[in-house]
């Protein structure tokens, strides 16, 4: 390139030769001995959220420097939602097709099977407490992960269930990632150990 004083200047644009990696949804948060690990559909660790529950509030310098397991869980759950938040404008349609679709219960939400195995009692109790009826219809595999699909007669119940338990909304045989309605009333949480 010719500069203003007549001399030549060279520059090279450097680009990474490695292909850009993709981290496909669904993402999931898994508890480990240090807090929570957020993994993509292929099992790649996207993020770690560390926590310490063994610190006492009396030692303020230690206490305020670390997250509790509940704080870490909420942050990990928010990170898991990032793929959904980046896909804007989607709606909450009926499933429409699929092996188990029926017109009387057209809304389907899939939950990660590993999450359900760890939290089944809390999920069931929370739904009963909030009067959100749900019925299991099938198990499916997506990107090497197993999901359990639940059906709903009312869209409002399905959306609240999807929102509370970080579910995957279904259209046909695939997942879609709708935007959470701003005026959606969240399911109420239960009190007590392991409650959601």
DSSP string, 3-61: -TTS-B--------SSPPP--PSPPEEEEETTEEEEE-TT--EEEEEE--SS--TTSHH
Report d(CA 162, CA 165) in Å as an integer.
6
Is pLDDT of 195 > 80?
Answer: no
Q: Within a 10 A sphere around the Cβ of 36, how many other Cβ atoms? A: 24
Looking at residue 56, its pLDDT comes to 55
Backbone angles phi, psi at 160, to 5 degrees: -65, -40
pTM confidence score: 0.56
Of 23-27, 80-84, 85-89, give the lowest mean pLDDT range: 85-89
The one-character DSSP state at 1 is -
Report d(CA 143, CA 27) in Å as an integer.
11
Is pLDDT of 1 > 50?
Answer: no
Retrieve residue 8's tokens. 């030549």
Report d(CA 13, CA 151) in Å as an integer.
53
Secondary structure element (H or E) that encloses residue 107, with its range: strand 107-112
Strands (DSSP E) contained in 119-193 are 135-142, 145-152, 168-171, 174-176
Retrieve residue 11's tokens. 């520059």
Is pLDDT of 2 > 50?
Answer: no
The average pLDDT across 68-84 equals 86
Is pLDDT of 77 > 70?
Answer: yes
110-135 pLDDT tens trace: 999 999 999 999 999 999 999 999 88
Domain with CATH 3.30.70 in the chain: 88-196
- CATH for 88-196 (3.30.43, 3.10.50, 3.30.70, 3.30.1340): 3.30.70
106 exposure class (CB count in 10 Å sphere: 0-12, 13-18, 19+): middle
The average pLDDT across 42-60 equals 78
- Higher pLDDT, residue 60 or 124: 124
CA dihedral 105, 109, 114, 117 (to 10 degrees): -40
């Amino acid at each position: 390139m010719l500069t203003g004083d007549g001399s030549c200047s060279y520059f090279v644009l450097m680009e990474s030769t490695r292909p850009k990696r993709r981290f496909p949804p669904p993402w999931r948060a898994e508890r480990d001995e240090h807090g929570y690990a957020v993994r993509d559909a292929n099992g790649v660790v996207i993020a770690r959220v560390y926590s310490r529950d063994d610190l006492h509030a009396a030692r303020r310098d230690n206490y305020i420097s670390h997250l509790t397991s509940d704080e870490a869980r909420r942050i990990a759950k928010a990170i898991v939602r990032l793929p959904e938040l980046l896909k804007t404008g989607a709606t909450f349609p009926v499933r429409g097709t699929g092996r188990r679709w029926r017109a009387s219960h057209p809304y389907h939400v899939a939950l990660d099977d590993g999450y359900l195995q760890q939290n089944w009692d809390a999920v069931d109790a929370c739904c009963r407490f909030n009067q959100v009826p749900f019925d299991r219809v099938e198990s499916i595999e997506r990107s090497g992960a197993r999901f359990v699909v639940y059906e709903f007669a009312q869209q409002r119940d399905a959306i609240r269930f999807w929102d509370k338990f970080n579910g995957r909304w279904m259209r046909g045989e695939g997942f879609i990632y709708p935007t959470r309605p701003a005026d959606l009333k969240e399911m109420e949480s239960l009190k007590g150990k392991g409650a959601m």
